[in-house]
Amino acid sequence: MNYLRHFGLREAPFGITPDTTYFFACRAIQEAFNTLLVAVSNGEGFIKITGEVGTGKTLLCRKFLGTLEASWLSAYVPNPSFEPRTLYLALADELGILVSPNLDQHQLLKAITRALLDLARSRKRLVLCIDESQAMSLETLEALRLLTNLETEKRKLLQVVLFGQPELDRKLASPSIRQLLQRITFQHHMRGLEENEVGAYVAHRLTVAGFTGRSPLSAGALRVLHRASRGLPRLVNILMHKAMLLAYGEGRWAIERRDLRAAAADTPAAQLGKWWWRLGFGRAGH
């Protein structure tokens, strides 16, 4: 990509694929990360991490899994929109359990239980991370709760981390799965970045990608970026990528407010309210 050479970059700094190399520990992310570490070390059965689309839940999940010590085994389910039996099959596959596809749900649960007991005897612990968990049906959530009934006299055999959008909270409020809600002992809601954090986030990603020198973003451009993205890391990435392409197209190194405004206008999820234009920020040259 030509604009990489223009800005002196080794690689594209603002991709939207979660990459732990670019993990940025702002306050909100660090608080969520600390919640995970404390909850898992305490042996809690259920942990819940929620946040709007684009707040970095998947990246946080991958970073968390990458920091687990050797005594931990992990299982990751990225898209749990399936029936209870399929959830058990997915977990069995993550655990390396060879099971017949003809096994019924009860037999699958017994096979998983034996594997978890074997892990406990080997002083191993298992954490199951489920991404996009708001997509789970009530029946599958209840089947997941049954898994966390498995325990020794000392601790749970399985710990579960639910990563999901705010819709997950509404689903968990259903009376039919109130027992699961009562078992969530640690939770955290992820927020967007503050304006100063957006600047630090952009600088961090540019540095990781090989950029040197002062930030190409002016204070005014940073304000537009923060407003348009609402501090959501995914939107920051999309807007910065488009703005850098625009600057490159005109042979400029600095990224201006008009680049971010144009990027926001081309991004349906971004927002720059009409008040922005009424205050005069939409006029050419600003």
User: How much is the mean pLDDT over the chain?
Assistant: 87
Residue 24 phi, psi (nearest 5): -120, 115
Handedness of CA 38, 43, 44, 46 (dihedral sign): positive
Select from 101, 75, 67 the least CA-distant residue to 86. Answer: 101
Mean pLDDT of 181-196: 91
Give pLDDT, residue 282.
Answer: 41
**Local confidence band at 154 (pLDDT 50, 70, 90 cut-offs):** low
Nearest to 237 by CA among 34, 24, 94: 24
Q: Which residues pair with 217 in a beta bridge?
A: 255
Output the pLDDT for position 149: 77
**Position 281 confidence tier, pLDDT thresholds 50, 70, 90:** very low
Judge contact between 100 and 108, C-beta under 8 A.
no
Longest dimension (CA), the chain: 70
Q: CA angle at residue 179 from 173 to 184, to 5 degrees? A: 75
The domains located in the chain, with CATH, are 27-190 (3.40.50.300), 195-278 (1.10.8.60)
The more confidently predicted of residues 188 and 213 is: 188
How far is residue 132 CA from its own chain's centroid?
Answer: 9
> Which residue, among 212, 270, 276, has the nearest Cα to 241 in the 3D structure?
270
pLDDT of residue 153: 57
Burial of 142 (0-12, 13-18, 19+ CB in 10 A): middle
Q: Average pLDDT of 191-207?
A: 94
> Which two tokens mark 179?
């027992």
Q: Which pair of tokens denotes residue 170?
A: 């509404």
pTM above 0.75, yes or no: yes
Cβ–Cβ contacts within 10 Å for residue 42, how many?
A: 12
* pLDDT reported for residue 43: 77
One-letter amino acid at 36 equals L
Q: What share of the chain in percent tops pLDDT 90?
A: 52
pLDDT at 26 over 90: no
Q: How far is the C-alpha of 207 from the C-alpha of 24, rounded, in Å? A: 12
pLDDT band at residue 48 using 50, 70 and 90 as cut-offs: very high
Name which residue leads in pLDDT, 125 or 168.
Answer: 168
pLDDT band at 20 (very low <50, low <70, confident <90, very high): very high
With 80 as the cut, is the pLDDT of residue 284 above it? no
Length of the chain as a residue count: 286
Q: What does the pLDDT average to over 116-131?
A: 89
